[in-house]
């Protein structure tokens, strides 16, 4: 899942407040190294980047939710993700 010029270095799970669902939801965060991270809500498929939240179009919501859940299923914990990123970006090991 790692790629310098595309894709995520790692993905990790967290519980967060979705501005669209207006409640706490499973969120998956994809870290793309130097380009920041992208968060996805597993409840509605809303995506958050540096540019803000983007709610998927009604017709694309089922695909966005499926994608978020797919990422969630292969994601690691926050602690594991930060160790992976540190090693990938800086060559540091815990």
pLDDT higher at 8 or 61: 61
Q: Please give the pLDDT value at position 84.
A: 80
Q: Is the pLDDT of residue 48 over 80?
A: yes
Q: Please give the pLDDT value at position 85.
A: 75
- Every domain of the chain and the residues it spans: 10-89
DSSP string, 17-75: EETTTTEEEEEEEEE-GGG-EEEEETTT--EEETTEEEPPPTTTHHHHHHHHHHHHHH-
Q: Which residue has the tokens 């010029």?
A: 5
pLDDT higher at 80 or 91: 80
Q: 64 near 45, Cβ under 8 Å?
A: yes
Q: Please give the pLDDT value at position 94.
A: 59
pLDDT band at 6 (very low <50, low <70, confident <90, very high): low
């Amino acid at each position: 899942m790692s790629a310098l010029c595309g894709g995520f270095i790692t993905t990790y799970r967290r519980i967060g407040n979705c501005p669209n669902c207006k409640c706490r939801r499973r969120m998956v965060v994809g870290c793309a190294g130097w380009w920041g991270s992208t968060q996805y809500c597993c409840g509605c498929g809303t995506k958050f980047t540096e540019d803000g939240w983007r709610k998927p179009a009604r017709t694309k919501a089922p695909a966005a939710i499926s994608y978020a859940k797919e990422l969630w299923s292969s994601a690691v914990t926050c602690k594991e993700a930060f160790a992976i990123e540190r090693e990938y970006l800086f060559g540091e090991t815990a």
